[in-house]
């Protein structure tokens, strides 16, 4: 059930979906120690996956190619374009179907599901934008996925 008391949407014949997710950490703020980095990455991926699944059930057989528009809603100074792109790595990794490595952060019924097959250029086209909001509580990442 979503926050509004509605059931998650199912991926049927729709042409796209908009997901509201937590802002990923800037690559400049990523921990330098490998264990701390892995832990931070898994914590964020778990949050992003949980937020996405509540809004729309992921695909068992995702579309072969999607277009993703990422809109960062910040109240502070905007990020550089290269930081936006790099900061999306953990988010895109969390939502793709083809997972690699330890998947302890992604458990449950939807282990082999995703919103797109993979995050490589063959399967995904990415664009980024930034928008202003009034406070930190309003900060979020909006991913618009079109297939």
| Per-residue pLDDT tens digits for 64-87 | 999 999 999 999 888 899 999 999
Gap between the terminal Cα atoms of the chain: 24
Q: Which CATH class is domain 16-146?
A: alpha beta
Neighbouring CB atoms inside 10 A of 102's CB total: 9
> pTM score, two decimals?
0.87
- Let me know: does 25 contact 44? Beta carbons within 8 Å: yes
Average pLDDT over every residue of 11-15: 63
Average pLDDT over every residue of 135-141: 96
**pLDDT class for 103, splitting at 50, 70, 90?**
confident
| Nearest partner of 68 among 127, 140, 141, judged by Cα | 127
Q: Please give the backbone phi and psi of residue 49, each rounded to the nearest 5 degrees, phi first.
A: -65, -45
Average pLDDT over every residue of 26-34: 94
Please state, for a pLDDT cut of 70, what percent of the chain lies above it.
Answer: 88
What is the pLDDT, as a whole number, of residue 123? 95
- Let me know: does 89 contact 42? Beta carbons within 8 Å: no
What are the extents of the domains in the chain?
16-146
């Amino acid at each position: 059930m979503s926050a509004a008391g509605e059931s998650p949407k199912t991926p049927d014949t729709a042409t796209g979906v908009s997901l509201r997710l937590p802002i990923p950490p800037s690559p400049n703020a990523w921990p330098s120690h490998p264990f701390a980095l892995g832990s931070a990455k898994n914590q964020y991926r778990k949050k992003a996956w949980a937020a996405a699944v509540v809004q729309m059930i992921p695909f068992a057989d995702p579309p072969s190619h999607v277009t993703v528009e990422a809109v960062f809603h910040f109240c502070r100074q905007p990020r550089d374009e290269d930081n936006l792109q790099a900061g999306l790595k953990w988010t895109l990794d969390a939502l793709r179907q083809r997972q690699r490595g330890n998947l302890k952060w992604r458990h449950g019924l939807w282990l082999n599901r995703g919103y797109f097959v993979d995050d490589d250029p063959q399967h995904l086209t990415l664009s980024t934008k930034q928008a202003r909001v009034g406070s930190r509580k309003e900060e979020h990442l909006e991913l618009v996925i079109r297939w």
